[in-house]
Amino acid sequence: MVSVQHAASVGTKDDSPVVYVVDDDEPMRLALRNLLRSVGFAVETFGAVRDFLVFPRRAVPSCLILDVRLPGESGLAFQQDMASSGLRMPVLFMTGYGDIEMSVKAMKAGALNFFSKPFRDQDLLDAVNEALMLDAERLTAERSVTLLRTAYELLTHREREVMAFVISGLLNKQIAARMNLSEITVKIHRGQVMKKLGARSVPDLVRMAQALGVEPLR
């Protein structure tokens, strides 16, 4: 779990969480930077979306504190473009001109929270903690899938075929009949699939197949 305390303990190490702030109001940027750094967060601030986009970002738990009204492009418009830009970090909105309609739009588009200026420091810090925890979980899941995909690439064509039959619920003798193999051979291939993927059971293998997008054969 990512927390303020954890961030403070790791300081600015390469694996420490990062909070990005995009706001064209310089005093607000400085205030947020000082607040977040006071509890140990690594912080990067920007006056415009374009500056944030060209900044090299590390693959660590991160979140974006984004002002609704920005020069050139509104924060709400940028939020809608984030998916196409490959940005999946949680977004926390803030505005000095907030209203209900704006908040609803932001939340519907996936914003984690919405703050109207002025806001309580602790409320923002709590929201940042939650955002970083969620992003840490996302990164862990993505890395697990990457490792799983690497393991899947090591399966032979026949092992992949056996796997597709196994996750469909077929028994070894049924798979053997469909593949014109002996039941012993199917058992060997099945054992190799389980070993290479690190699956402990068929339900475990089914979950892995779903993560990989592997369709069952019947």
Give the total residue count for the chain: 218
Question: What domains are there in the chain, each with its CATH number?
Answer: 4-141 (3.40.50.2300), 154-212 (1.10.10.10)
Q: Are 44 and 20 in contact (CB under 8 A)?
A: yes
Cα–Cα distances (Å) from 49 to 113, 147, 164, 199, in that order, read 19, 33, 45, 43
Which of 65 and 104 is assigned the larger pLDDT? Answer: 65
Grade residue 69 by pLDDT with cuts at 50, 70 and 90. confident
Q: What is the pTM of this model?
A: 0.73
Average pLDDT of the chain, as a whole number: 87
Q: What is the pLDDT of residues 90-118, one digit of tens each?
A: 999 988 766 667 777 777 777 888 888 88
- The pair of three-digit structure tokens given for residue 43, joined into one six-digit string: 């912080």
Report helix, strand and coil shares of the chain as percent, to nearest 5. 55, 10, 35
Task: Tell me whether residue 145 is exposed, middle or buried, using C-beta atoms within 10 angstroms of its C-beta: 0 to 12, 13 to 18, 19 or more.
Answer: middle
* Structure confidence at residue 90 (pLDDT): 93
| Res. 12: pLDDT tops 50 | no
User: Residue 139: which residues within 8 A CB-CB, separation 6 or more?
Assistant: 59, 60, 61
